[in-house]
A and B are shown apart, each in its own frame.
Chain A
Amino acid sequence: MLGDLLGAAVFGLVALAIAFVAQQVFEFHWAWAAAATGFVLALSLTWAIVSPSIRYEQWRFEIREDEVDLLHGLVVRTRQIVPMSRIQHVDTTRGPIQRRYGLASVVFYTAAGGMTIPELSDERAASVRDQIAALAKVHDDL
């Protein structure tokens, strides 16, 4: 959520810059530029505040003995299944904001790309990581 707010702020700055340049080039009244920027900023802020909780609600993952099953996405729903035997290694990563709130993400990699389970609590992330690592090792025989 903080990340989304940050994203909205950056987006707002970009919108402001575009509006400023457009105002200079086309020389319309500055109030139009301000209104447009305000509108874009309001929209992105609303999105930043509302969407994380919905996205959080929409995130599901299941670690089965032989596969990891992920289901996520607000606009585009995605279901991903990764066989344990294809997982090369597992990491937990923590950004500065995540550290502040005791959160971590689990990232695991296959030979065709990586996948993330975001924003778990520290302990949960560690246990998920260890679980995947252990199961991936068992299925290494393929």
Chain B
Amino acid sequence: MTFNPEPVLAQGSLEAVTWQRAHPAFMVTALLRNLRGFILPFVLVAIGNSGRESRTGTLIFLGISAVVLLLSGIGSVVQWWFHRYALTPDRLLVHSGIIFKQERAIPYQRIQTVDLEAAPLDRLLGVARMKIETAAGGGGESEVELKAVRRGAALALREQLLRAQQTVQGDVAPEPGATGQDDETPATRVMESSGELVRKLSLGELLLAGATSGTIGPAAAIIGVGIQFADDIVPQAWWNRVPWDQVTGASRNLSVIAGVVIVIAVFAWLVAIAGTVLTYYGFELRRDGEHLVVQYGLLDRRRTTIPIRRIQAIRIEEGLLRQPFGYATVRYESAGRAGAAEGGSGTLFPMMPRNAVRELLAIVAPEFAVDVDRPRFQRLPRRSLPRYIVADSISSLFMVILIMVGIRFWQDGLPWWGYLPLLWVPIVVVLGWLSFRDAGWKLDERVLMLRTRGAARSTLVTPRRRIQYRQMTANPLQHRAGLVTLQIAVASGDLGGHYSLPHMDVADGNALLLALNPRHGVGQAHS
């Protein structure tokens, strides 16, 4: 499977197309993928069977397993055989499937991004998956995946696709760099990128990002799995030996409870740090001509290519824990990233000093390099403050009361620390007040900025010409108070990115709605 770009591109007719097949490693990953669905039933049956001494049962079980394995094996070989791709002068052809044949032709100018991904197994086998995403339309259908392309070939193919795309579009083709055809590049170097390095995540920033990420999701999942595991695997006899009387007694002891809570909190924190390190390790942002290349990850190295002119909006997010350190996360909304997990939005840089953001954007996306702080944001009218505080406070108070009732039943009475959850309510009030204080908008001839706060303070920067539509809504309560919620939509993924600024003054809202007419600004005629 040597890759030979020139002849294919030189040929004119479809008949002369040379088809390429994926690396044989495709069969290994396909087999594992085919078997994945059987693992859980297999394990369940195995466990269910282990207690009984039934020979026929075991035989049937082994027989079924063998058949499944055989069929999956044949399936993977056939899948590999029928998974082919070819480059013609103006399009990429991908054929796959046997029963449900899929033949796909992607004109080069439709290609939006070309991503290389390598899961640990892929890396072990020296291959990469290549994801090719096209402009909006049809859900996940707008995505093509070339599985198991040899890494050297993958990089060359990616270069070639991007170059072909630019040639077809009539843009200036970039200098064909030295990265072109060297098939023999060592695997570790292949994943490194062309283009000039703009910014790299330092180890300190990485650890700070983890420590302030405030996510407890992964930790909760691990604890959940752990409990499940303990329940299933640990033999009943061991459970019987636990002195439950003492455990129940201890569970009512304040210091034990506090200890358990602190241990879980610290564990969750460590898991969050580890998760962030795994995800964002070695984060690099590069600019390669008119594309940005982002790559990150410790085990599963991810790589995304973003055409700069497809970026619709930039979001600067300052988490509650990060704001005091003066750090922010920069995210982007890009048109036509269909099928991406977050529907067109992604991380441009996970953790950087907020006062360096403008400088960074000046290099990677000049259209968005604006002064976020001056002039100041237009703020909301005083009368919208209650709307930011009251509803959330009441619902949090309701939850706190539920928790306190729980504690009361559990402890046979309410000890002094049972009132501690009440502290949550003033925190919610303060957060609501902060949300009100930070909410605002700012519009100049070219760019609209919206600022809101959930927990993190989020500043949206979007050129007015990128706004697809804008709207304002008023529910009956807002209507009575003369307030509206302003919403704008930018192109992003399949659904678009929608941003709202709740509880603006109705006159301000109307004025802003009309002022956002793309013709009123300047500079919208270019590009």
Using CB atoms and an 8 Å cutoff, list the residues of chain A in contact with chain B: 66-67, 73, 75-83, 85-86, 110-113, 115, 141-142
Contacts A111-B335, A112-B498, A142-B518 known; A77 to B492 CB distance under 8 Å? no
Q: Report the Cα distance A141→B518, complex, angstroms.
A: 12
Residue pair B473, A82 in contact (C-beta under 8 Å): no
Q: In this assembly, does B503 line the interface, its C-beta being within 8 Å of a C-beta of chain A?
A: no
Q: Chain B nearest CB: distance from A39 CB in Å? A: 23
Q: Write 19 A-B pairs (CB below 8 A) sorted by A numbering.
A: A67-B517, A75-B476, A77-B473, A77-B474, A81-B514, A81-B517, A82-B468, A83-B518, A86-B467, A111-B136, A111-B468, A111-B491, A112-B469, A112-B495, A113-B468, A113-B489, A113-B496, A142-B518, A142-B525
Inter-chain contact B490/A112, CB cutoff 8 Å: yes
For the complex formed, measure the closest distance between the CB of B345 and the CB atoms of chain A, giving whole angstroms. Answer: 13
Q: How far is the CB of A120 from chain B (nearest CB, A)?
A: 20
- With an 8 Å Cβ cutoff, the count of chain B residues facing the other chain is 30
Contact A80 B471 (CB under 8 A): yes
State which of B468, B497, B513, B517 has its C-beta within 8 Å of the C-beta of A79. B513
Could you mark each residue 485-524 of chain B with 1 if its beta carbon is under 8 Å from any beta carbon of chain A, else 0? 0000111100111100000000000000110111100001
Apart from the given pairs A85-B518, A112-B497, 9 other A-B contacts in the complex at a CB distance below 8 Å: A75-B476, A76-B476, A77-B479, A79-B472, A82-B469, A83-B518, A86-B467, A110-B491, A113-B489
* B200: interface (CB < 8 Å): no
Q: Output the least CB separation between B448 and chain A (Å).
A: 13
- Residues B470 and A113 in contact, CB atoms below 8 Å apart: no
A142 pairs with B465, CB closer than 8 A: yes
Residues of A within 8 A of B513 (CB): 79, 81
CA distance A66 to B469 in the complex (A): 12
Query: Which residues from chain B contact A111 at a C-beta distance below 8 Å?
Result: 136, 335, 468, 491, 496
Complexed CA–CA distance, A141 and B465 (Å):
12
A80 contact set on B, CB distance < 8 A: 469-471
Once the chains are docked, how many angstroms separate the CA of A50 from the CA of B256?
62
A31 to chain B, nearest CB (A): 34
Which residues does chain B contribute within 8 Å of A141, judged by CB atoms? 525
Contact, CB under 8 Å: B525 / A83? no
Q: Which residue of the partner chain B has the closest CB to A108?
A: B469
Residue of B136, B468, B474, B519 touching A76 (CB-CB under 8 A): B474
Taking a contact as CB atoms closer than 8 A, the residue among B490, B516, B517 that contacts A66 in the complex is B517
Which 7 residue pairs of A and B lie closest in terms of their CB atoms, listed nearest first?
A112-B496, A111-B491, A112-B489, A112-B468, A80-B471, A110-B468, A82-B469
B-chain residues with CB within 8 Å of residue A76 when the two chains form the complex: 473-476
Which residues of A have CB within 8 Å of B519?
Answer: 66, 83
Knowing A66-B519, A112-B489 are in contact, say whether A78-B472 is a contact too (CB < 8 A): yes
| From A73, A81, A115, residue with most partner B Cβ within 10 Å | A81
Inter-subunit contact A142/B469 (CB<8 Å): no
Distance, CA A115 to CA B492, complexed state (A): 17
Q: Report the separation of the CA atoms of residues A29 and B136 in the bound assembly, to the nearest whole angstrom.
A: 56
Give Cα A115 to B497, complex, Å: 15
Chain A residue nearest to B491 (CB atoms) is: A111
Residues of B within 8 A of A85 (CB): 518
Distance of B435 from chain A, by nearest CB (Å): 21
> Which of B469, B472, B498 has a CB less than 8 Å from the CB of A86?
B469
Min Cβ gap A34→B in Å is: 33
Pair A75/B468 contact, Cβ less than 8 Å: no
